[in-house]
Structure 1
Amino acid sequence: MRAAVCQLNSREDRDHNLAVARDLLERAAAGGAKLAVLPEYVDFLGHSADAPRPEPVDGAFAAFFANAAREFGLWVHAGSFHEKGPDAGRTFNTSLLFAPDGTLAATYRKIHLYDVEIAGRISYQESRTVAPGTDPVVADVDGVPTGLTTCYDLRFPELYRALAIAGARILVVPAAFMLHTGRDHWEVLLRARAIENQCFVLAAGQIGDHEPRRTCFGRSMIIDPWGTVLAQAPDTVGVTFADLDLDRLETIRTELPSLANRRMETFPLR
């Protein structure tokens, strides 16, 4: 399977963000990709006061990417968007996966939210404005089980192990990873998730400056089940490709059967 990760610099202009995303999907299809992945919050990154109204799963955002998937004959993972949440004060951070005929194949709501209090330094509570999802999701992408995750999820290996146990061969990570953590942790964590779960990892990131005063790391990449970085994006908006050798994945799992050797009676997954 040929895959593509699309790197964006989403800002406060929703229409412009979607137009750039569509252009990258077109380039992905022209490059032979069967699956293209967009970053977290494709729709909007900026001051919360300027954010567009959150939408339902069957709203305009979904229709836009369903049409793109259908037009380009492409599996489209539409990064994530601000879905209408459970109450007036919170949205869901939601990923939608579309099949090449434009049908909605899967919906995933980001489970782990970044809440931190460091006295005198930082106070950030993502959970004040975002409601957590509750359900891990593995979707069939052209016959390949694919686990869906988002950004901060990357720091919780139990989610990725649950996806691998559920059959995932590909793990998808749309993100808006911050520069100061990304330069030290992004690649390390992605490669760890690939190695320990013996899966391909497709990580599509936001790049560059965004309001309010944040810079995203970028460096979107595709990693194989051995932990080898097959492709990495330069520090610009664009599309990065790699071919996923699924036979090699099965060879790795056979020759180094760490998933089969798990001692679940000693360490049950709860």
Structure 2
Amino acid sequence: MAETLDIALVQTRTPATAAAGLVHVEPLIRRAAAEGAKLIATPEGTNLLEQRRALRDAALADEAADPAVAGLKGLAAELGVWLAVGSVLVRSGVEGDARAANRSLLLDPTGAVAARYDKLHVFDVDLPGGETYRESAAVRPGEAAVVADTPWGRLGLSICYDVRFPHLYRGLAKAGASLIAVPAAFTRPTGEAHWETLLRARAIETGAFVLAPAQGGTHEDGRRTWGRSLVVDPWGQVIARADHDEPCLVHAKLDMSAVERARGAVPSLLHDRDFDLPTP
């Protein structure tokens, strides 16, 4: 297993259609590979971001027919890199359910899909500033957590709102994940308040590297997302970051032996105990 890993996080401001999404992200992925990244991670909604239901439904395709998915597979193969596509919004394929799947795809250097993960937790909220989100109306939640093998260790997959559910990350770590992806399109109010704190907590709790590529800025559908993509090491230290919302790359070189050191110093993954919950 390789001891070091050159990664790049791709921060984007994805447009509202998959064709435009591919045009937006492709130059950043090409640059990341040219600059030496072997694992390249993109944000949630890499293919498209559109919250207006009628326009979103018109833009959705099956995974196999989505032009961004096809283009990203081709890029992984052409560039010979692992590509952790934070998520694509595609038709769920479930009969009788018109909602989309919010799906992470891990592509290997041949362009094949090494793993799929559908977002488990969907975000429904009314924010004090007047913004309202009803992800459950548009997205069908997934059913299972996913880890996948890479040359650098096992990669646990998660998406955005999942980061608020620490038991998921503990499960990924116990399944052997030494890298955990948290691609996101965080809202600005919650991003400013919670983004970095949550990511550092998940790294500390799991003793894993956390890779968090994000959307940033004001999008075509009017949503405003918090960029600040970052990489957290297994001790909870931010080792690379963007300090803005603009499309960019965040590079880091990971010493994979840091995972064993962190888990050896604080072996909490070995110390679970059963306990009775208080009565509500």
**Structure 1-normalised TM-score?**
0.92
Match of 2:54 in 1: 49
Match of 2:118 in 1: 109
How far apart, CA to CA, are the structure 2 residues paired with 1:218 and 1:29?
21
Match of 1:141 in 2: 150
Residue identity in the other structure for 2:65: G
Distance 1:173 1:118, change over 3 A: closer
How far apart, CA to CA, are the structure 1 residues paired with 2:101 and 2:130?
27
Match of 1:77 in 2: 84
Over the matched positions of the two proteins, sequence identity in percent amounts to 41
* SS of residue in 2 equivalent to 1:174: coil
How far apart, CA to CA, are the structure 1 residues paired with 2:276 and 2:38?
37
Contact 2:120–2:162 (Cα < 8 Å) also in 1:
yes
* SS of residue in 1 equivalent to 2:91: strand
Residue identity in the other structure for 1:140: D
How far apart, CA to CA, are the structure 1 residues paired with 2:8 and 2:98?
35
Distance 1:119 1:32, change over 3 A: closer
How far apart, CA to CA, are the structure 1 residues paired with 2:270 and 2:248?
38
* SS of residue in 1 equivalent to 2:64: coil
**Structure 2-normalised TM-score?**
0.89
Contact 2:164–2:198 (Cα < 8 Å) also in 1:
yes
Pair 1:228 & 2:237 matched: yes
How far apart, CA to CA, are the structure 2 residues paired with 1:96 and 1:124?
24
Residue identity in the other structure for 2:108: A
Residue identity in the other structure for 1:210: H
Match of 2:104 in 1: 95
Residue identity in the other structure for 1:15: A
How far apart, CA to CA, are the structure 2 residues paired with 1:39 and 1:59?
20
How far apart, CA to CA, are the structure 2 residues paired with 1:118 and 1:53?
27
Moved more, 185-194 or 14-23: 14-23
Distance 1:209 1:122, change over 3 A: closer
Moved more, 10-19 or 61-70: 10-19
Structure 1 counterpart of 2:164, from 147, 152, 155:
155
Match of 2:259 in 1: 249
How far apart, CA to CA, are the structure 2 residues paired with 1:35 and 1:229?
18
Where do 1:1-270 residues align within 5 Å? 1-46=5-50, 47-51=52-56, 52-60=58-66, 61-85=68-92, 86=94, 87-116=96-125, 124-235=133-244, 236-263=246-273, 265-266=274-275
Q: Point out where structure 1 has 5 or more consecutive residues left out of the alignment.
A: none
Give per-residue Cα distances to partners, 1:152-209, cap 9 Å, x unaligned. Answer: 1011111111101111000001100011110110000000000011000000000100
Q: Point out where structure 2 has 5 or more consecutive residues left out of the alignment.
A: none
